[in-house]
Structures are given as structure tokens and as C-alpha cells.
Amino acid sequence: MNRVQIPSAELGTRAMAKGTRSKHLIPAQPLRPLEPRVLNGRGMRVLGFVPAHGSLVTKPLAAAEDTPSAKRPEDPARNCEAASVKGPSAWKKGKPLYAHGNYGSYYSYRHSPEDVQGDRRLVALSERFGTPGWARDVTRSGNDFLKDKEVLDIGCNSGHLGLVSISAACHFSARRVVGMDLDSGLIEAAEEHLRSLGGVSSRSVEFRAEDILTCPLRRHDQPERFDVVLCLSVTKWVHFAHGDTGLHNLFKRCFKRTRPGGYFVLEPQEWGSYKKKRHLTREIRQSVANIQIRPEDFEDYLQNAIGFEKVDVIEPPGDLPPNFQRRLRIFRRPLEEEEEVQQPEAKPRKRKRAA
């Protein structure tokens, strides 16, 4: 019985169609061995098999990423938007979990409707360093802590009552205020609140849905710096999400955001607040267990590791709710800094959403 030789290409097609029957067919040439050919740029075989010799050769993944069609210019605004969150991290027993402290009603239970002078913390700052804005018409004094200043409010929340960013512009005559928050939903609410006021110009108050740890430090090819940087009741949540590394990077970025001679105002949560909230998620519980830099260490850390100078400590008003009896710590960036190589920021731990 004569055997028919079949071209290898046709043999492959028949083999796929007929399965095991292909073993009875004898090709004209021995089949070419198969070997992995798709690489990840580091010599690791990660995908697929092709003939070891021939025209079918796939580009390594690293090479494919370098092609002009695959390469796109970075968009800092898009990166910041991707880093933001919206709403609760998870739900537990029908209740929302805010692992980043992005409570929508934060200011409504921190302040009362009687606080017509603006945020109590800004009032305390102006009383210590100048004339409060609401008393300027009576005293005819313009010596105000925030007057004609550019202010950054980190963790600005949504507002509705006593929003720091809007209060700084309305009651304390700040020239420009940027409110920044990780939660895009809170930023949308803050912008809606700003529009409802009518009398506040959008040129003087701007809101951004950005993560302070990843947002660009430069705007329009220039470093973006402020006369006053406010970091009020934020440190605990950064500590929860990124540990000591994230806290260090937060302080470094606050330093870079502050103009030489400008002020950094810190309102840290006490360690008892950490312990109270540590069971929100498993990740937070692990972070708290590994924390080495506690709130009582912040003052020395900001001076010795970051480069700020201590200015003052303001005690909280006695009529505030017990949960908000927090000191304001004021620091200053020196005018003339020693020339030294700045250490690069440590890479923050990737934020995980609660299960």
C-alpha cells in the first residue's frame, strides 16, 4: 500500500480537524519543534508557542511597549484622577466604611450653625497671629494671618458648613485657595456648595480631586507653592493607608508645597484616635501594628527629618466636641535653607480597597 505525503502546513490543519487520526499521516519533512517566543524583556517566557525557525516571531513585550503607537504622553491630571476614590471603601453589615476618612458629613457634626465667623481653627490662627477677618471692619486692621495669601487645604472634604477652603476666602481674605481631597464625590459637593454661595469667585477658590502623595508638584512648568499649607485631621488616614512611609512622604510634600518663609499648619489626630479606628479593616489593623512614628513624635520629626522650624502650638477651644479637642501645631519653612541633597521620596505602599 502506497503512502501519500502531505505538505506540513496542510498536515497541521488536518491534525487540528481530525485529532488523533493525524498520527497515521507521514509528513514530507519532520515537524519543526515548538518553543516559547514571547518574552517580557527580561528573558522570561510568558506567553504562547511558535515554530523555533521561520517567519512567525512575536516581539518581546518590552519592545512592543516602546513603539510609537503604544507610547502615550503622561497626563498628570489623568493620573491624579485615577488615584482618587469616590464614596465608602466598603460596606459592613449595611454600614459604609470610610477607610480614607472621606466622610461626607464631617463638617456638619464638627461645627454648629452658630459658627458664623468661619472655621474655628482659622479663627484661632488669626487671633494668635493677626486680626480675625470678621473683626476687620471694626478694628480697620489688615494684619490677618491669611490675608492676601495663597493657601492649600489638604483633605478639604465637601463643606456645606464651615468649609475651611471657602472660609479662608470669605472670612479671612485669602487671595487664592486650593482645596484638595482624595474623594472625587466630596470635591463635586464642594464645587456645588461654592456655586450656591454666588459671592465667592471661582478664581479665588479651586477644588481638586487629587491624592497629595501622587499629584504633580509643578503647574505650568513651575513649582506650585503656597504661603500657608493646612493639613487638618489628615495624618491618621494617610498613616492608615500607607504606614510610616506614606506619612514621611506627606510631610516631605507639604514642605515642598510651602514657600520659603511660609507656614505649615498641622492638626494631627492623637494616638487614641488611631486605636479607636484601627479595626475598620484588616489592612488598617496591620498598619497600626507596624507604626513607629506616633503623633507625639511628629513635632521632632518635622524639625529633624523634614526641615521645618517650630513656631507655636495653639490649644483647642474648650467648647469643641471631645473628639475634636486637637492642638494646632504651626511650623515654618526657613527662608534660607542650607544647600543639601534632598533625599528622594520613598515609594508609598499601594492602597488597597477594603474587602
- The string of DSSP codes covering 7-71 is -HHHHHHHHHHHGGGGGG--BSSPPPPEE--EE-SSS-EEE--EESSSS--PPPHHHHHTSTTT-
- What's the average model confidence in pLDDT over 39-43? 47
Return the ∠ at Cα 64 (arms to 60 and 70), rounded to 5°: 165
- What's the average model confidence in pLDDT over 188-197? 85
Instruction: Show the domains of the chain with their CATH numbers.
Output: 1-30 (no CATH), 32-71 (no CATH), 78-332 (3.40.50.150)
Check residue 301 and give its pLDDT.
Answer: 98
What is the longest distance spanned by two Cα atoms in the chain?
Answer: 117
Model confidence at 19: pLDDT above 80: no
Q: What are 306-321's pLDDT values in tens digits?
A: 999 999 999 887 666 6
Model confidence at 46: pLDDT above 60: no
- What's the average model confidence in pLDDT over 284-310? 96
* Contact indicator for 334, 310 with CB cutoff of 8 Å: no
Q: What pLDDT band is residue 3 in, cutting at 50, 70 and 90? A: low
Identify which has the larger pLDDT, 164 or 201. 164
Q: What are 320-331's pLDDT values in tens digits?
A: 666 678 899 999
Check residue 119 and give its pLDDT.
Answer: 75
Check residue 288 and give its pLDDT.
Answer: 94
Q: What pLDDT band is residue 26 in, cutting at 50, 70 and 90? A: very low
- What's the average model confidence in pLDDT over 231-242? 93
Question: What does the H/E/C string look like for 79-124?
Answer: HHHHHCECCCCEEECCEEECCCCCCCCHHHHHCCCCCCCCCHHHHH
Average per-residue pLDDT for the chain: 72
What are the grid coordinates assigned to 125, written together? 490662627
pTM: 0.66
What are the grid coordinates assigned to 175, written together? 487671595
Measure the CA–CA gap between 227 and 261, rounded to whole angstroms.
8
* Contact indicator for 189, 104 with CB cutoff of 8 Å: yes
Model confidence at 218: pLDDT above 50: yes
Model confidence at 150: pLDDT above 90: yes
Cell numbers 456655586: residue: 195
- What's the average model confidence in pLDDT over 47-61? 42
Q: Is 22 exposed, middle or buried (0-12, 13-18, 19+ CB in 10 A)?
A: middle
Buried b (16+ CB within 10 A) or exposed e, 214-229: bbeeeeeeeeebbbbb
Model confidence at 47: pLDDT above 90: no
Cα within 13 Å of Cα(201), Cβ side:
6
Check residue 166 and give its pLDDT.
Answer: 84
Least confident residue range of 225-239, 250-264, 273-287:
273-287
Model confidence at 135: pLDDT above 70: no
Helix (H, G, I), strand (E, B), or coil: what is residue 231? strand
